[in-house]
Structure 1
Amino acid sequence: MNSIKCIEHLRKFPGGYGVDGSFGQVAAFISGLDAAKDEYLLEGFREWLIVKVGFGSNLGWSILALHVIFPGRSKMHPSGFSEDESKYAGEMLIDLLLEFLKIRSSGGLTGIYHAYITWLRKQEWYREGFPGYLEEPE
């Protein structure tokens, strides 16, 4: 079973994977799936989320996903969520990942990284020439 089918199946039957559907367990499962399979499942996901939220280059993908799921919320740690919020966030995380994978599978990884680099260059803290891989080749 490929990763996309596995994630779609996880959304329908989380208990079949030993997951209760909460955000923390869904995020842990996705991280494990990424580590276990040599498919680069999450490649570009963090960058895509940064552009989507408009900030957070210092954050991991799971916290960025929470900023997409609960925009404007000040407390983003899953331990502070109600059970319903956590289940909702788990479902939305799967939806976000599937949306990302659909874009990426249609050749969008280059566009994802281009959008991220464009975003980086617009930040007030960005310095031209650092890191060097962001600069256009001569």
Structure 2
Amino acid sequence: MKSTIYLKCPQCRENGLLIERQGKYFCANCMYDYTQLNDDLEKLDEVLLENLREGGFDFGFTTALYERVTLIPPQEATEYVKKLAEDNNIELIPDKGAILKGSLPVIIFFVVIIVVIIFASILVSIYG
């Protein structure tokens, strides 16, 4: 099975694929052994938080890392990472207002285009 999990590596600081070799998980760039984080849960939390904050990776990738390193079931991993994000004021899903605010220029652009098309068709029908 091929991995599709990308993370920011705590060792090489690069964004890379998480690969599995002989029951361990490594950074494809520098072969950092993520499974060693199971012995240092504080460091594991730091890696999870960095990936949630700035790694550009989604909640699912971060949860998958936690699940693989700690060998806990997916539901428990999901709950843990959600709680970790909440405790550190990391918004996992942007609120609806932020989504609407971000798409407002696109909406305005389309409204302007529609108004121009309607106006042009009226002029063509009048002066046609």
Instruction: Provide TM-score, normalisation by structure 2.
Output: 0.27
Larger proportion of strand: 2
Query: Which of the two has higher C-alpha Rg?
Result: 2
Higher relative contact order structure (alpha carbons within 8 Å, sequence separation ≥ 6): 1
